[in-house]
Structure 1
Amino acid sequence: MSHARLMAVTALAFGFGGSAAMAELTADQVWQDWTAYLADLGYEVSGDTRRSGYTLTIRDLALEMDMPDEEGAMSLRMGGIRLVENDDGSVSVVLPRTLPIAVAAIDDEAQQVTAAVEVAQEALDLRVSGTQDAMDYAYSADALTFALTGLQAGDETPEIRAAQIRLEDVTGSSESEPGDTSRAVSQDLRAGPVTYEVDISEPGEGSAMALSGSMAQVQFTGETSIPDSFTSDDVAAALREGFRFSSTVEYETGSTAYRFEQDGEVLEGSNSSARGRLAASMDPDGLSYGAAGEEVSLSANASDMPFPVNLDMARMAFDITMPVIESEEMQDYGVQLELSEFTMSDQLWSMVDPGARLPRDPATLRVDLSGTGRLFFDLLDPAEVEKLEARDSLPGEVESLTLNNLTLDAAGATLSGEGAFTFDADDTESFGGAPAPEGTLDLRLLGGNALLDKLVGMGLLPEEQASGARMMMGIFARPGDGEDELLSTIEVTDDGQILANGQRLK
């Protein structure tokens, strides 16, 4: 099931699907808005509706949907919901204490897949206000719990001892603004603590998975624009029609413990962080995805490991930006990676440096790359990807690449650099079939020779290899003003020459 459709089902269950303004609403208008919204996403909605006074009751609520590429169908059945008209013009959505949801689908191997889910609420207050064309949803609850209680795929029936997520002290809102050609939806959710637990095994398969964790506080914000022509069967076309989304999840004090078992082999461990952030967005210009954690601790142990691995970082983060649809125009791309103040246990250090000759100060790695390029195909179209794999052709072209920052500080040495290059797609002869580059890269190394001496003294690096490394540094680098400082400027000219500090290499 696509993310958009799954979000829509959740929206129906908890009212995250309305729009904005203040006026008098009827229960029938709210129900009509739900069915229209879900129909736009490809669902066929049915239910037995009965009105009694100011209350509209929907029994046997069901959603049906054909899967893309004739891969079967999916159905969801969600029990009963009541919509109650209030004196102030709002409508309350009343759910049972426990709402059962049954899911049935056909997977990509033509197997019948069924799942049973229970959604439990404690003191849920969900109200819809506004007008028929613009509805606001506001909600709060002492707790919400989502639990997977049954799962079967073909002849396989995993044993589920636990599979749930629980949100406490929940508050949130959702607004939806229908337009002439699209619907804009914004969402905000705050909860905490949030706990989760999974304990599933496959009898006869020798495999099991168990994990549990918590976050003290969680905040989610999201913005989505859904064109009237939206279909998850062709996301690339939807992007060209104006589909876009952005979402951010921030948390405080998170921790997870896990254990995986397969054929007698065990991997277990834990991780924790003081705070973190996960962000994702997609629009016609491309996809962006990133995550960051502060004060991160990681621990892992496995059956074939001699001892546990323990790692700590002040900050661990990555960000990726990339185009996803075919374009005649150049689009931005980028990759950022940071491992800040990285440390590892003395047990790991003792494997490579038992005599403690290398400085064990925290290490840092930062890489920041950006540029422009374009795709020759739609990355989100499986048929296009399959055709590309069968063809012997380039998937796209790179116009420029900029190294905004390179920093590697470890074992007493520091390497830093920056540079920028452009690429000539019309010249694929100068560099063996690759587009010809032009640009400059500046590098600076502090403490390199001292690190080589220590590696030789430890026996990790033979003297002849160290001598070869020093010879190469003499070719590509020049002494700087500081002690044990080397500088290097690598330049590629427009006529195909490669220069190192002005000396021609090619």
Structure 2
Amino acid sequence: MTRFARYSSSTALAICLGSTAAYADLTAADVWNNWRDYMGDMGYTVTGTESGAGDTLTVSDVRMEMDFSADDETVKSALVMDSLTFTDFGDGSVSVQIPAVSKITVAGEPATGEAFDLAIDYTQSGFDMVVTGDPDDMTYTYSADSMGVKLSSLTVDDTPIGPDIARIDVTMADMSGVSRIVQSDLRNVSQTMTTGPVTYDMAFTSPDDDGAAKITGGLESLSFTGGGNIPAVEDPSDVNAMIDAGFGFTGEFTYTNGTSDSNFDGPDGGGKMTTSSTGGALAVSMSGDGLSYSGSQSGLIIQALMTQMPIPIDLNMENMAFGMMMPVKKSDDEQDFGLKLALEGFTMSDVLWGMFDPQGQLPRDPATIAIDLAGKAKLLVNFLDPKVAAAMENSDEVPGELNALEIKDVTVEAAGAALNGAGAFTFDNTDMTTFDGMPKPTGSIDLTLSGGNGLLDKLVAMGLLPEEQAQGARMMMALFAVPGDAPDSLKSKLEINDAGHVLANGQRLK
């Protein structure tokens, strides 16, 4: 995770260069000087040739390099621009112009695997940026008719890889945004950005001609809102040092009406798939309090046809969502974590239903699967430290302790049956013997099941479940559950007490 973040940061900074990566005063010369100093503080080596004419400063042969090499592998990245132009309007504002095409290069010699060199064209048309404000509080207002990234060359182990083997082309139209940078003890950045249509075209072919994939698609619109605090540290790639110095950020992407088309082929067969959704979101935040991700899609439709499947696949989902929260820093104190997953309103075509229920005996109402967990844990190592992460790979050291787990909700609704549950447990990490190698839990969970027996009857009638297996399932339900308040309903309370006894509805099982 840390290594990926270090490698990708160069490209991310380069792409953002036209919008948010500058920190400048309000004259042409000072804009460039502070831009150069800021990139230097981020770990880049910045070079360029300056020339002035009137109110305009031109910096030619611009090169911003960063070395990500570590241990026995080498990775270097650079952003190359023919020129940058800074124009002082004389009214306290500065215009910044970037080339129509800039180049992002990455060269690497990994410890294992093949050496590679790649170049990406960073393109723009109709770009305009104006910087206003004062040296400690600046606002960048920008727009562009289009901006994009395109893989222009790739070499693996001294062998050129042409566009017939690898192709990446992403374009964003009608981009506009505002970024504000306030300098105090920490550099605070806040951003908003919107685009019109976003399109992508990617293709990959195995050099051995044993597989290929092509993916095209796009979004009707894309927007971003976010910001955070950025400290000045000696090594910006040291995530722990950044967090200790006050680093934190939060950001959210949202989009409308996304579509994709995929075609693939391989030794085991091929196929094609199309997807669409009415919208979605992806949010991420990170600080000393932890790392969190969340995302959602609405109106998801998946249609596929594969050589290994006798019929087409047609799936629909009203909403799909996920969320994760976890600590990132070693601490002797308990820290929060959480996990959410929801697949709501899931349906499939009658053709798929007909494969196992041709007579329509099972209810075909939309299905839902959801889980919502929260808890407390202690993180015993700084896993974001590359050296610590490498040491963990060859160690039996436990990275953390689970102290508490709350099951806020477990829901499974499908084929006329519904299972719901909620509960909470605490864990004693000093007792690893009561439950054979895991910390002893104490707590309970309440479960309810409706429509379970009816579903078993239908599965037996359809021939999908042998009668003797259905009887075994009924015996297990009778052992762990008692009748509920409604017909064909069961409820159960599963407990683990302080003595380590496992009970079901008060009856000891262990």
TM range (shorter): over 0.9
SS at match of 1:79: strand
Comparing 441-450 and 251-260, the one that deviates more: 251-260
Query: Which residue, out of 176, 190, 193, partners 2:181?
Result: 176
2-structure distance, mates of 1:453, 1:264: 38
Query: Which residue, out of 457, 460, 464, partners 1:456?
Result: 460
- Does the CA-based 8 Å contact 1:158-1:201 persist in structure 2? no
Task: Give the corresponding residue for 2:295.
Answer: 291
SS at match of 1:159: coil
Q: Are positions 1:353 and 2:363 aligned together?
A: no
Cα displacement (A) at 1:203: 4.4
Task: Give the corresponding residue for 1:324.
Answer: 328
- Does the CA-based 8 Å contact 1:19-1:136 persist in structure 2? no
- After superposition, where does 1:259-298 map in structure 2 within 5 Å? 259-263=263-267, 265-298=269-302
Deviations 1:247-289 (A, max 9, x none): 1000111111112333473242111110100111111222111
Cα displacement (A) at 1:378: 1.9
What amino acid is the match of 2:183? P
What amino acid is the match of 2:30? Q
Task: Give the corresponding residue for 1:442.
Answer: 446
Q: Are positions 1:471 and 2:475 aligned together?
A: yes
Cα displacement (A) at 1:223: 1.1
Task: Give the corresponding residue for 2:145.
Answer: 142
- Does the CA-based 8 Å contact 1:17-1:175 persist in structure 2? no
Query: Which residue, out of 151, 162, 168, partners 1:163?
Result: 168
Q: What TM-score comes out, normalization by structure 2 length?
A: 0.93
- Does the CA-based 8 Å contact 2:10-2:78 persist in structure 1? no
2-structure distance, mates of 1:133, 1:91: 15
Q: What's the Cα RMSD here? A: 2.0
Deviations 1:165-193 (A, max 9, x none): 2212211011222222x322222110111
Comparing 418-427 and 66-75, the one that deviates more: 66-75
- Does the CA-based 8 Å contact 1:49-1:59 persist in structure 2? yes
Cα displacement (A) at 1:18: 4.2
Query: Which residue, out of 218, 224, 227, partners 1:220?
Result: 224
Task: Give the corresponding residue for 1:36.
Answer: 37
* 5+ long unaligned stretches in structure 2: 1-5
1-structure distance, mates of 2:43, 2:262: 37
1-structure distance, mates of 2:125, 2:315: 39
SS at match of 2:163: strand
Cα displacement (A) at 1:3: 4.1
* 5+ long unaligned stretches in structure 1: none
- Does the CA-based 8 Å contact 1:376-1:396 persist in structure 2? yes
SS at match of 1:319: strand
Deviations 1:182-221 (A, max 9, x none): 3222221101111111134354444333111111111111
Deviations 1:123-143 (A, max 9, x none): 222111122333221001222
SS at match of 1:57: strand
2-structure distance, mates of 1:427, 1:123: 66
SS at match of 2:173: strand
1-structure distance, mates of 2:187, 2:498: 49
2-structure distance, mates of 1:251, 1:44: 36
2-structure distance, mates of 1:417, 1:15: 48
Cα displacement (A) at 1:232: 4.6
What amino acid is the match of 1:385? A
What amino acid is the match of 1:132? P
Task: Give the corresponding residue for 1:402.
Answer: 406
2-structure distance, mates of 1:179, 1:152: 44
Comparing 57-66 and 375-384, the one that deviates more: 375-384
- After superposition, where does 1:36-185 map in structure 2 within 5 Å? 36-70=37-71, 71-72=73-74, 73-96=76-99, 98-109=100-111, 112-160=115-163, 162-180=167-185, 182-185=186-189
Cα displacement (A) at 1:357: 1.4
2-structure distance, mates of 1:18, 1:64: 16
Comparing 364-373 and 227-236, the one that deviates more: 227-236
2-structure distance, mates of 1:267, 1:27: 55
What amino acid is the match of 2:127? L
SS at match of 2:330: coil
SS at match of 1:237: helix
Deviations 1:93-121 (A, max 9, x none): 1233x223141421424755333333332
Q: How many equivalent pairs are there? A: 500
Q: Where has structure 1 moved over 6 Å in runs of 4 or more?
A: none
What amino acid is the match of 2:449? L
Task: Give the corresponding residue for 1:194.
Answer: 198
SS at match of 1:254: strand
1-structure distance, mates of 2:408, 2:432: 26
2-structure distance, mates of 1:489, 1:68: 55
1-structure distance, mates of 2:310, 2:107: 44
Structure 1 residues 365, 191: CA separation in 2 closer, same or farther (over 3 Å shift)?
same
Cα displacement (A) at 1:309: 1.6
SS at match of 2:70: helix
Structure 1 residues 378, 344: CA separation in 2 closer, same or farther (over 3 Å shift)?
same
Structure 1 residues 123, 136: CA separation in 2 closer, same or farther (over 3 Å shift)?
same
2-structure distance, mates of 1:221, 1:471: 54
- Does the CA-based 8 Å contact 1:172-1:190 persist in structure 2? yes
Structure 1 residues 334, 18: CA separation in 2 closer, same or farther (over 3 Å shift)?
same
